[in-house]
Amino acid sequence: MRTLGQSCAALALAMAACGPAHQAQPTLTPDGALVYTADEIAKMQVATAWDVVARSGRMNLAEASDGSSAVIRNRRGHSSILFPSADMPLLIIDGARVLDPRALQEISARTIERLQMIDGMQAALTEGTNSGGGVIAITTKTAPDST
């Protein structure tokens, strides 16, 4: 008969063997931004930028089945403005602001060089008052050089 300790050790070993070999470990910057690099995204084995954001746990994502616009909401709900889209993060793709969150579904995960999520307070400091719901900034591998 196995002891409780042996059973727990066997269970832990089995769980480790069943899981992915490498979990993506995003970087958390001192200002609270969550950054995924191309290597970390590849380890996630996801298809699109939408999937990366969904896996992060920082945002609630929903797409209406009636064909209407997709919705992204900041989980923290720091916004005190009571407009329907007040806690919608600002999307910046290769330096350009994008209004439709469905654009995240069209960006292949393989083309992302860096994906950064910034919470509302810090985003408002860097991107202005229209970013109270946070910022999702994506740099693709084909982005024009900014240097």
Q: Is residue 127 situated within a structural domain? A: yes
Residues 56-98 pLDDT 10s? 888 777 765 665 556 666 655 444 444 455 568 889 999 999 9
Residue 4 lies in a domain: no
Task: Please check whether residue 128 lies inside any domain of the structure.
Answer: yes
Domain assignment present for residue 63? The answer is yes
Is residue 106 in a domain? Answer: yes
Q: pLDDT tens across 15-59, in order?
A: 444 444 446 688 988 888 999 999 999 999 999 999 999 898 887
pLDDT of residue 30: 86
Q: Is there a domain that residue 11 lies in? A: no
CA distances for 70 relative to 85, 92, 98, 99, 118, angstroms: 11, 16, 13, 11, 20
Q: Tell me the Cα Rg of the chain.
A: 18
The whole domain housing 36 covers 21-140
- pLDDT score recorded for residue 58: 82
Which of the four pLDDT bands, split at 50, 70 and 90, describes residue 1?
low
- When divided into structural domains, the chain yields a total of 1
Residue 80 resides in a domain: yes
Tell me the residue length of the chain.
147
CATH number of the domain at 75, please. Answer: 2.170.130.10
- Its pTM stands at 0.71
